[in-house]
Structure 1
Amino acid sequence: MDFVILADHPASETIARRLPADGAVRTLRHHSGRPWLIGRWNEDEVVSVAVGPNRIVLFGPTTTTPESLTSTARGLRDARDLDRLAGSLSGCVHLLSSIDGEVRAQGSLSGARQVFYTSTDGVTVGSDRPAVLARLAGVSIDEELLPLHLLAPYGPPWPLNTHTLWREVSSLPMGHYLHLDTRGGGRTTRWWTPPEPEVPLSTGASVLGAAIREAVEARTSRGGTVTADLSGGLDSSNLCFVAATGKARLVTTHYASPDAANDDLAWAERLSGILSPARHVVFPGEQAPGLYDEPSTGSSELEGPQSLLHVPRIEHQAELIAGLGSSTHLRGDGGDELFQPNEMALHALARTDPLRAVPHIRALRVRRRWSWATMVRNLADVGPYSRWLSDCAAGLGAPRVPGENVMGWDIVPMMPPWVSAEALAIARDQVAGAAADEPAPLAPSPVAHQMARQVHLNGVINRQMAEIGARYGVRFEAPYLDDRVVEAAMSVRLADRVSADRAKPVLSAALDGVTPAELAQRTTKGHATAEVYEGLRRGRRALLGLCEDSRLARLGLVDTEALRDVLIRTHADIRQLIGLNPTLAAERWLRSQAADPRPAVHPADPVHSGGTS
């Protein structure tokens, strides 16, 4: 799916003529007759209604019906009136509306569905693809932003992550929508704020369970064959048991790990027996691409470097899934971030319920091998977000002290040692500049901000996976990232999120009776350490090839000799490789952009209709 969002303005006719046209392109129009939405989408991924001068379109999986959407459209007076609808929609959708020519456009809270925007021909234009807007506006890659994408592990911190690598093309912040008026102007408006964690588990589990079931139903209600990861872990396995109760024929899949100590496969096979008659397929790990293999189709369609996405593995998985006759594949992305309490949950609990926090703090200290002095320093007040961001800027490039600054607004970004002094200085200045603007965090508390940030990172991963899967006719879906699931998970009291004997007590309580009790008792978790080492061994030659005529080196951003040394050396700890993925992702993305064969926008094409949904 890809589309452009146009204002009800005379310039939209001119912009529409510059978009590539083919038989697959569709156009939906404002009440005025001017083009509103132009793009490519399938009939089964859109709900569209028109009532008088009002139009509402939902792109993506949802249980919302045309009848209920029509009822909503009938009473709309302006964009704000859609807040209630946006706060109740199931599934994961783009919500797009034209209310007598006034446009509202938004994606999902997680960013799994995102809206980007820029200005061209004197008006604001939106799209779900930033590269489309870059070509429309005639803008190039902003090389000054590249150093931020070399930061490990997650790239630019909030709010710098809202800027795309294309000049003057931005993405919507979490909980905002884009408003386009009939004069061609555009602005972003906040419509959602994270809920306070005040709901007791007894109530929150019921709401969360209903949200998860509806999220899965949004992907399975049409029947047919649906595949799902069955890793053997809590997140994906729970989704499989929910999906097994739906209308679709379920086929579960599992990538076998080469690590003999990894018991994921044993758990997956144990659970697949309970899921019978659902078919279970195991993909041999040795047949899968290595984690550092070269993508087969390049990364030109990706909106930017994605260091957390193993493109060759996703391509391989999509091809196998398509071969099983499935066009929808469920993944457990977001489960850890929503349901596994991290250090910041204890940091917050220590303030709201100290007695409840004490045994968990003791356990964390032992697990981390911290002294009590280190523990106390981590539990100290983290201060305002702007100060934390300023400290991050000052600390870029400095050696890390183990155990220090673990608890904060987010994971502290680090710059790999092979990055040049110039790139380090640019990144430091940009982070410091953002801190000087005193940006508000994504949520008032550090634990909620970090939760929202992690959910958004997963949304970006899922969004880019969807772009890869589309080449094979496969939709990668992550039900845990749906708005209602995110909202329900963030609402549960902190004291109810931690447990001494259950890994994810909120998730287990939400799906109690749906999934087998033994699943909640699993205490082990598979890791990809062996795959990282094997991937580096298999891909070393290709990785060293990237050091030759490196695009990043041409720009003066990396020292290829230092990078080559890291690739050749033996590493006793994979944490030494954390900084490698962002660098490789940026290098490959830059190369793919230089080789992108896609045509530029047309200077003058007739406005195309190609069908109306």
Structure 2
Amino acid sequence: MDRDIPPHFLADTWFVVFPDNEASSRLFSPLIPSLPRHVVHPSGRPWIAGNWVDDEFFAFNRGMGSFAFVGFHAAREWSKQNGWSTVSDCAGLDGLLERLPGSFHFIASLGGECRVQGTASGLRRIFLDDYAPLPVVASRQDILNFLKIRPVHHHSVAGRLMFPQPPAGIESQSPWKGISSVPAGSWIKLGASGQTSLHPWWKCPDAVATLAEGAPLLRERLAAAVDLAMACGNQVSADLSGGFDSTSLCFIGAQQSHPFLTFSSSGRENADDDLPWIDLARLSLPPGRHLHVPGDELPGPFDGIGDFAAVNVDEPYIGTAMWRRIDFTAKVLQRAGSNVHITGHGGDEVLLSPETYLYEWIRERPFAAARRLNQFRSKRRWTLIDVATAWAKAPTQQAYLEQVAKGIRLPFPDRPSASTSWGALEQRLPPWATDYTAELVRELLRQQIERGEPLHSSPAQHLCLSGIRSGAHSIRLTSQLMRQSGSRMAAPFLDDQVMEACLSVRHDEKTVPTSYKPLLSTAMKGVVPGALLERSTKPNFGIDVFKGRRRNAEELVSIAENLVLVKIGMVKKEPFRDACLGVGQPTPPIALWKTLACETWLRGSQDLANPE
């Protein structure tokens, strides 16, 4: 290799896996000395290379094979189980892996074949290099691009300009050509002769458990997830944001013998009502270290937005506008001695169901569903015509995707309307997107229609899992950013076992108009004080965002004047510049955020790939 490893690769955990054959050994052995760490197959050929710290990587040999775990796990204990010695092929590992807690990648070398898998939640992903003469997989797609330069995938970038949230599968495609994403919940086999194949190892459960059945299981699995995360850090910190999810994790952590630091911050505006809840939680927790950063000391939205291109994440990141705050927080935690930070990220995604479950429930309990629908209509300002139209408009996923494709260039509505069974129809491209971008998105949607495979036969369960994986992809990038700034992040709500416990609970008991996150509040009785279980609000940071855009208008306009997205024909400069100044066609802030995510990623990738 004639290039040095970029510094950000030395700050994060990542790996590349090579097949076990002589051709692979000849091709990739010259790379090994330039990579920070490596492990060999039982044959002695290169197997895993990358960057990691000892407490997150554990490899062992048993029987005919070698096995490795990367992430939050208890592999030293698991390796003592007898089953590893008796497994004869990669498919036979399912029974050993299916009930293990934690959040990790798993890699096996067995009988000349490799098995590589991430998580079902999508938090830990796997990517295949389609350009290499022999199959290579990695946990970061930019390392594959570093090993072999390739052009940007315009379709993928176009799909990421859609807002508020594209249909399932649109944002999971790699933004580089020649790199494929292994579907979450599947493992990839690297055969000895160079062939690859995908094998599902996880199936989304049906939402049939009652709240009374699901809450104890959630409590048990959350405790196991927090315990594993805490065991992997010398000094652990945890968000105490005042929100329901992070507060619950802090009280679970307080039951462990491992000491930890709680961290809190507040918004810049009075609309943030987190602080009283933070204070109440602190008074109820056992005595310990606590670190609070006032809102006026935190970087705000869009601060330093022009510098994000120098921060390397492996795909466009929706949190780009908040990157300075994330970077600041990670460095504060590092200075405080924390090397593992526990967050409540993913809680909203796993604990709530879409209100469209009512379309399915109405067949089962029509009168109860009608009463609840009226409650949701009042809360969301839907009309009966809205609901009836949405219900009839997209009876299948294919019909839904066809409707989305027809409407992507329409203005975003002023008033939210009811969603269809398969999702909201208000999926749009921003007014600054070009016709070329619109055609790319329509092609993506046509491809999804042709596949015709929802994540679950139940539309509500499909939307639940789609939302979880979309959130997990973003949280994965937050983790990459925090690692570069010195802090390793854990998100226990996205551990597969926790996610599965939540997905198993009935939608009509998990999401109700009169109670906030009843599954978590029931699970946390006796762990979290009752007064803290009564919170039903979330702060609104809209004023922070508005003031941040106005404060950083000059820097945003500077970005707009030299857009890579304009150069490759995907965005029109003037409408985007107007949006940076808060003028022009009214558009939700997320549209600007998503375009900035794509633009800053493209700029940061210029040294590794030139847009086609």
| TM-score over 0.5 for the pair | yes
The residue correspondences of 1:444-459 to structure 2 (distance < 5 A) are 444-459=457-472
What SS does structure 1 have at the residue aligned with 2:136? strand
Aligned position for 2:438: 424
Q: CA contact under 8 A between 1:55 and 1:98: conserved in structure 2?
A: yes
Instruction: Verify: 1:80 aligned to 2:91, yes or no.
Output: yes
Q: Which amino acid aligns with 2:431?
A: P
Q: Distance in 1 between matches of 2:48 and 2:577?
A: 47
Partner of 2:54: 43
Alignment partner of 1:372 is 2:388: no
Deviation of residue 60 (structure 1)?
0.6
Instruction: Indicate conservation of the 8 Å contact 1:334/1:458, yes or no.
Output: yes
- Cα distance in 1, alignment partners of residues 27 and 516 from structure 2: 52
Partner of 2:6: none
**Amino acid in structure 1 at the alignment position of 2:599:** E
Confirm or deny that 1:92 pairs with 2:106: no
SS of match in other structure, 1:520: helix
Task: Establish whether residue 158 from structure 1 lines up as the match of residue 172 from structure 2.
Answer: no
Per the TM alignment, residue 448 of structure 1 is displaced from its structure 2 partner at its CA by 1.0
* Residue 259 (structure 1) shift: 1.8
Distance 1:281 1:448 in 2: 39
Q: Find the counterpart in structure 1 of residue 478 from structure 2.
A: 465
2:151 to 140, 148, 154: 140
Is residue 530 from structure 1 mapped to residue 536 from structure 2 by the alignment?
no
- Contact 2:149–2:608 under 8 Å retained in 1: no
Q: Do the aligned partners of residues 551 and 138 (structure 1) sit closer, same or farther apart at CA in structure 2, a change above 3 Å counting?
A: closer
The answer on whether the counterparts of 2:69 and 2:107 sit within 8 Å (CA) in structure 1 is yes
Distance apart, 1:300 and its partner CA: 5.3
Q: How far apart are the structure 2 equivalents of 1:293 and 1:592?
A: 17
User: Could you tell me whether the CA contact under 8 Å between 1:252 and 1:281 is conserved in 2?
Assistant: yes
Aligned pairs, number: 594
CA distance in 1, matches of 2:93, 2:365: 38
Residue 594 of structure 1 aligns to a residue whose secondary structure is coil
- Which residue is 1:343 aligned to? 355
Runs of 4+ in 1 over 6 A off after TM superposition: none
Distance (whole Å) between structure 2 residues aligned to residue 384 and residue 524 of structure 1: 34
- Return the alpha-carbon distance in structure 2 between the equivalents of residues 452 and 69 of structure 1: 33
Structure 1 position 510, deviation (Å)? 1.6
Question: Could you say if the C-alpha distance between residues 304 and 442 of structure 1 is closer, same or farther in structure 2, counting changes exceeding 3 Å?
Answer: same
Provide structure 1 residue ranges, at least 5 long, that are not aligned to the other structure: 598-613
Measured after TM superposition, the shift of residue 344 of structure 1 is: 2.2
SS for the counterpart of 1:524 is: coil
Q: Could you tell me whether the CA contact under 8 Å between 1:442 and 1:452 is conserved in 2?
A: yes
Aligned to 2:329: 317
Contact 1:199/1:493 (8 A) holds in 2 = yes
Give the equivalent residue in structure 1 for 2:215.
205
Which SS does the other structure have where 2:82 is aligned? helix
Q: Provide the residue aligned with 1:587 in structure 2.
A: 599
Q: Which amino acid aligns with 2:448?
A: A
> Does the CA-based 8 Å contact 1:462-1:476 persist in structure 2?
no
1:391 and 2:403 matched: yes
How far has the Cα of 1:476 moved from its partner? 1.2
TM-score normalised over the length of structure 2: 0.92
Give 1:107's aligned residue: 118
CA contact (8 A) 2:237 2:341 kept: yes
Q: Which amino acid aligns with 1:416?
A: P
CA distance in 2, matches of 1:298, 1:454: 27
Which amino acid in structure 1 is aligned with residue 561 of structure 2?
E
The alignment yields a C-alpha RMSD, in angstroms, of 2.3
Partner of 2:188: 178
1:519 paired to 2:532: yes
- Partner residue in 1 for 2:3: none
1:375-402: per-residue Cα shift (whole Å, max 9, x none)? 2333447322222112211211023454
Partners of 2:52 and 2:242 in 1: CA distance: 34
Instruction: Report the Cα distance in structure 2 between the residues aligned to 1:387 and 1:44, rounded to whole angstroms.
Output: 48
| CA–CA separation in structure 2 for the residues paired with 1:443 and 1:587 | 33
Deviation at 1:463, TM superposition (A): 1.4
CA contact (8 A) 1:299 1:589 kept: no
Aligned equivalents of 2:233 and 2:594: distance in 1?
39
Could you tell me which of 409, 415, 418 is aligned with 2:429?
Answer: 415
- Counterpart of 1:442 in 2: which secondary structure? coil
Quick one: structure 1 residues 135 and 546, their matched pair in 2 at CA, closer, same or farther if it must change by over 3 Å? same
| Pairing 1:50-61 to 2, within 5 Å after superposition | 50-61=61-72
- Structure 2 CA distance for partners of 1:333 and 1:349, relative to 1, 3 Å: farther
Cα distance in 1 for residues equivalent to 2:382 and 2:94: 46
Query: Match for residue 266 of structure 1?
Result: 276
Taking the aligned partners of 1:135 and 1:14, their CA distance within structure 2 comes to: 19
For each residue in 1:568-593, what CA deviation from the matched residue of structure 2 results, as whole angstroms up to 9, or x when unmatched? 236998x6222111111111111111
Deviates more, 1:67-76 or 1:577-586: 67-76
Counterpart position of 1:609: none
Deviation, 1:117, is 0.5
SS at match of 2:501: helix
TM-score of the pair, normalised by structure 1: 0.92
- 2:558 — aligned with what? 545
Q: CA deviation at 1:531?
A: 1.5
Q: Deviation per CA, 1:191-222, whole angstroms, max 9, x where unpaired?
A: 11100111122221111111100000011135
Change (3 A) 1:95 1:202: same
Question: For residue 275 of structure 1, what is the aligned residue in structure 2?
Answer: 285
Distance 1:486 1:465 in 2: 19
Q: Residue 247 of structure 1 corresponds to which residue in structure 2?
A: 257
Question: CA distance change for structure 1 residues 352 and 259 in 2, over 3 Å: closer, same or farther?
Answer: farther
**Cα distance in 1, alignment partners of residues 316 and 80 from structure 2:** 37
Shift of residue 339, structure 1, vs aligned partner = 1.3
SS of residue matched to 1:65: helix
Letter in 1 for 2:494: L
| Aligned 8 A contact 2:121 2:472 in 1 | yes
| Aligned equivalents of 2:457, 2:420: Cα separation in 1 | 16
C-alpha distance in 2, partners of 1:291/1:582?
Answer: 14
1:246 aligns to what SS in structure 2?
Answer: coil
SS at match of 1:189: strand
Point out the more displaced range, 365-374 or 88-97.
365-374
Question: Do residues 433 (structure 1) and 443 (structure 2) align?
Answer: no
